[in-house]
Each structure stands twice: as structure tokens, then as C-alpha cells.
Amino acid sequence: MPSQSENQRTVPQVVAQAAAEHGERIAIRDGAVELSFAGLDAARLQAARALAALGLQKGDCIAIWAPNMVQWIVAALGAQTIGGVLVPLNTRLKGSEAAYILRASSAKWLFTVPEFLGIQYPALLQGEDLPDLQGTVLLEGSGEGQLDWQAFLERGAEVSEVVVQERAAALTPADTLDILFTSGTTGKPKGVVTSHGQNIRAFETWSATVGLSADDNYLIINPFFHSFGYKAGWLAAIISGSKILPVRNFDLDAVLAQIERDQVSMIPGPPTIYQSLLAHPKRDDYNLSSLRLAVTGAAPVPVKLVEQMREVLGFEVVVTAYGLTESCGVVSICRADDSAERISHTSGCAMDGVEMKCVDAEGNTVPSGEEGEIWFRGFNVMQGYLDNPEETASTITADGWLKTGDVGVMDADGYVRITDRIKDMFIVGGFNCYPAEIENALCSMPGIARAAVIGVPDERMGEVARAYIVKDAGAELSEAAVIAWCRENMANYKVPRSVRFLDSFPMNAGGKVLKNELRDLAAAERA
């Protein structure tokens, strides 16, 4: 294959190039399953042939609703090889939440599993209106009315590899690669559209900055449905030639054993993962000497934790980063030689090819050291929100700056510290939570007149939701009943861990709930 510049490639070209460079070296080890880079290339071509046989056209979406597993990667690459668009679904979504995304993306095929952690995914969609969905493929196991993985792959015999290669060759770096749905302050998830070229460039740059290499054994704990597990995970690993070790369900003892068994060198994730490793009473029973590289973020990182990650866990490199779905997953990143204080207190500086600034309410750049909304501009800015030109226009300025809605302070060296969130979003164990979305759901519960949600500190998760509720006249509701209802109707990370009942909410003159006063109430409880 002729060499191509970093932003002139597509995902099928990246996989083919990795196969050419790394051949029979192991690309993925998932339990008893091993795939070499050459084997991964052959597997994604087989999946692409099968999808072509099922009628998938360029621009058609496939959704994947499953835990981290080798079939997830093969299905995604198969679709992306022939111009299909990947739509990952959070494994914690309830049926109605997943159905909304399937409808909004007009997904043609759903790839899922019969069951994961006691949840039967196909059953959750029974009764949902899914007019565009043509069928379901099970990545493992079997089920009535669904195509099992082997039967799906066998459909590939109906389409020649030449057809698939021609479709792959016709792709351009500007073609859509994926649509990741992110909840917004309106409470309705928005689809973020990004292309092949910009994602490949973003994670070539990311990999080079953090030092990910072909020598690394990469334990991917972050879920594949999130850009951290997908783009900074298996896509970055393929780009870098690293070995992919998917973790289906985080179990600390199993992870410690796997670090020793598979000589794991790279572990990314929110700070809770490293805190859990440090706190494990039998940590010293395991040989963790292979650990080399850690990339963290999504929550504040104490200086002491960075120092312990280096001194106790033995990581040579610890870096923090900042990104959002609208940035292909990354905007800024620390450098390997940054101090523990800088890694703890900042989210790095803009990655190569990206500009970042903090602005006031009028969009004017504020001096270094002063708070402002973080804006960024560069190759990693999303193509736009799916079928939502108004929201796209209000988020991206005419000269290409994307307004993040996050407030930060930038120092003289361009390193940014995130201080607040204009959009009111808070982070639960690495998952973004948007109060408006939870509030909208709560208000559909009988007996609730109004609901307001804030994030409150939690030792293990960083933050968790607290709901403040005004009851309907005469309604009898308890904290336990509200939480139980939420567990039935929303993803578990969104579920409020505590509920407080008020006679009325503090409001401003415009009728908006004064959440700063609710936060003061919460703080007074903790005092």
C-alpha cells in the first residue's frame, strides 16, 4: 500500500497497514481467542462481506450494544470497511433509551448479546417501535429470531472479497466513521458525527504523545461504547500495533491476575481504577512490574495518587487528558515529562494541530489565569450533530471554534484546569450525567411535580446524583420508592443515590431553579 499522510487514511487502510507491518503478531487476546494482526484484517473483511450480503449501504448505521469483546471490534471494523457508520450503545441503557438512539440513527442492524450482567438486551427492546431496524445479530450465543455470529459470518460467502475491497477503496477520509450519542442539557441525546480521517489523526497524535507503542500490552477496561475504550482504546492500539486485551467486566482480582499473566503495560481509565488497585489488600501478591503507562482523566486526580501510581504501582508514565465526544474524544493532554503537580492540577495543553482558549461571555479571550469557557478549534471538531443544524450552529462558531460548555483556567504555558461546567453536567465514575435528562425522567414518575438534580461528592464514584423533589399535592413518596423507580427506568449511573423532598425550589426571577442554592443545601448536610 502506498504510504499516506496521517490525515489521508481511512480505518480499513489503517487495519490493512497494521496487518502488513505486524503480520502474525497478536493483535487481540480475548480469553481463549487470539487474533493476529493478519487475522484481524481477514476477520474484518469477512464481517464486511457479511454486512454487504445483508444489504448494508454506505452511510447506513449499525448499532453495537454489548460488553468489550473481540466480536465487537470485528463487527465495527466490518461495517466501517464498506462505509457503514458505527453507533455504539451504552450497556447500561434501558430499552427505551436504546430505542431512542436506534430510531434517531435509523440503525439498520443491531449487534448485541443475549445477556450481560443479568440484563437480557433483546428482551429490553420488545414492544419498541424500530421501523428502520432490519434485524439483530448476536455476537455470542443464540436466540429465536436473531442471527447468531457464525451464521452471520457465513453470509459473507454471498459477496466476493473483491466487492468489499472496491467499496473500501472508494472511501475517503472525509466519510463518516461513527455517530456517538451524548446527552445534552435539553435532556435529548444528540448524535455526534465524526469522520475517518479526523479520528485516525486524533489517535495517532494521542498515541505518539502518551507513548503508546507496538511493545505495549493494552488492558482496555474502559467500555468500547465510550470514546475512551473505543478510540483511545482499540483504535489507538491498532494504529500503534499494541496488543488489545479487552476487559468485559471490571473485577479487581481478575485484573490483577491478568496484569501478571499478560504482562500488561498500559492501563487507562478514571482515577477510581488506580485507587482500587492501590487499595487492594493482596496487591503485593501479584507481579505488577510490567506496568508502564497510565492515561487518566474524567475526574480530579489528586497529586498523591499520581505519586503513588509512579512509586507504588510502578508506572513510568502517568498523564491526564481532557476531551469530549464532540472533539473525537481528545482536546488536551499532558506530556510524559510533566510534574505530578501539573498532571494533577491540569488536563494538559492542546494536542498538536488543535487550538484551545478560554473566553468570556462575549467570546473574547480572557487573560491567562482567569476563568472562561473553554473553546477549541482544529481537525478534531465534529462534523456536527446528527439532523440538528440549529444545535450545531449554536455550538460551533462561524470561524470554527467549538464551545465546550466547560469552564477552565489556562496558564501561561497553555495548560488548562477544568473548574466548572456551564452545562451543569457531572461525572459518575467516568460517565457523564446530565441533570436535565434525569429530571425529565423523574417528572414522568407519578407523584412528582418538579425535580432538580445536582452532583454531590462520592468517595468511590467521584460524584453521584442527588434529586430534589417537589411532590404533587397529596402524593406519598419515599426516598426508597423514588430510587427504586429510577433503577427501573434509567441507566444505573444516572440513578440518584439520595433524594430530598422540598416544598418548593429556590428560583430566580425567570423561573429557573437556583442550583447553586441546592448545592449549598447539600454542602450544609456534609458540614
How is domain 11-195 classified at the architecture level of CATH? Answer: 3-Layer(aba) Sandwich (3.40)
Q: How many CB atoms lie within 10 A of CB 527?
A: 4
Q: What is the pLDDT of residue 345?
A: 84
Residue stretches of the chain with pLDDT short of 50? 1-7, 185
Rounded Cα distance, 21 and 242, in Å: 12
d(CA 87, CA 485): 28
Q: What is the pLDDT of residue 5?
A: 43
Q: Are 198 and 7 in contact (CB under 8 A)?
A: yes
Kindly give the interhelix angle for 37-53 and 161-169, rounded to the nearest 10 degrees.
100
Hey, is 386 helix, strand or coil? coil
Q: Residues 273, 297: contact at Cβ < 8 Å?
A: no
- Residue 172 CB-density burial (10 A; 0-12 exposed, 13-18 middle, 19+ buried): exposed
Judge residue 359's burial from the number of C-beta atoms within 10 Å of its C-beta, 0-12 exposed, 13-18 middle, 19 or more buried. middle
Q: What pLDDT shows up at residue 237?
A: 98
CB atoms within 10 A of CB 423: 18
CATH fold of the domain at 426-526: GMP Synthetase; Chain A, domain 3 (3.30.300)
Instruction: Look at residue 525 and give its three-state secondary structure.
Output: helix
For the chain, the structural domain boundaries read: 11-195, 250-421, 426-526
CB 339 within 8 A of CB 333: no
Equal CATH topology for 250-421 and 426-526: no
> What architecture does CATH give domain 250-421?
3-Layer(aba) Sandwich (3.40)
pLDDT at 186: 52
Burial annotation 441-472 (CB, 10 A radius, 16+ → b, else e): bbeebeebebbbbbbbebeebbbbbbbbbebe
Q: What is the pLDDT of residue 509?
A: 54
Alpha-carbon gap, residue 263 to 257, rounded angstroms: 10
